[in-house]
């Protein structure tokens, strides 16, 4: 049990490290809060919440994995190395793909509701 609590502590430390050092991670946390507030305000369905939560989690998880990969790359290859560059670029590409997926999903869910709201005003 003590070991399990310690593991949670390390995981939380990792979250704190990503939040403190990565501006992009802080932006994603802010975007997650905004999307949740919009979901609540626009009264989205349970199914739509599942998509929004999936996007938020995918975004945060990939950003944290990207941070881990960047940190490890800097540790292993502090000097310029073509392969180190590829590792970081591929990792950043993964984050970009999830960001595109999240934007498209958010658009599909929120834009029609916002248009309906504007038309009703
Ligand atoms: N050691 C290296 N060798 C070769 N190219 C590198 C190296 N470090 C960084 N690069 C190149 O510079 C780009 C930016 O790297 P950097 O570490 O600044 O990442 P970042 O995406 O700006 O991350 P951060 O979130 O820390 O600002 C990489 O995607 C890669 O193309």
Which CATH number do you get for residue 113? 1.10.287.3610
CB of 94 within 8 A of CB of 49? no
**Closest C-alpha to ligand 1, atom 8:** 85
Q: Is the ipTM of this complex over 0.85?
A: yes
Residue 63 marked as a ligand binder: yes
Residue 89 marked as a ligand binder: yes
Q: Is 88 in the pocket of ligand 1 (CB under 6 A)?
A: yes
Host domain of residue 32: 2-120
Cβ neighbours of 102 (radius 10 Å): 21
Which letter, b or e, does each residue of 55-90 get, where b requires 16 or more Cβ atoms within 10 Å of its Cβ?
A: bbebbbebbbebbebbeebeeeeeeeeeebeebbee
Domains in the chain, number: 1
CB of 30 within 8 A of CB of 87? no
Walk along the chain (121 residues) and give the pLDDT tens digit of each residue: 888 999 999 999 999 999 999 999 999 999 999 999 999 999 999 999 999 999 999 999 999 999 999 999 999 999 999 999 999 999 999 999 999 999 999 999 999 999 999 999 8
Q: Is 63 marked active-site?
A: yes
Q: Is 116 in the pocket of ligand 1 (CB under 6 A)?
A: no
CB-count exposure of residue 26 (10 Å: 0-12, 13-18, 19+): middle
What's the pTM value of the predicted model, to 2 decimals? 0.91
Q: Is 87 in the pocket of ligand 1 (CB under 6 A)?
A: no
């Amino acid at each position: 049990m003590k070991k399990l609590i310690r593991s949670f502590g390390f995981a939380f430390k990792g979250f704190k490290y990503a939040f403190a050092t990565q501006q992009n991670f802080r932006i994603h946390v802010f975007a997650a809060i905004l999307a949740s507030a919009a979901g609540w305000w626009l009264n989205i369905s349970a199914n739509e919440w599942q998509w929004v939560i999936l996007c938020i989690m995918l975004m945060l998880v990939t950003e944290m994995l990207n941070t881990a990969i960047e940190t490890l790359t800097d540790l292993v290859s502090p000097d310029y190395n073509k392969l180190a560059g590829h590792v970081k670029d591929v990792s950043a590409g993964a984050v970009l793909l999830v960001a595109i997926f999240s934007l498209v999903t958010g658009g599909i869910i929120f834009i029609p509701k916002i248009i309906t709201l504007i038309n009703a005003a």
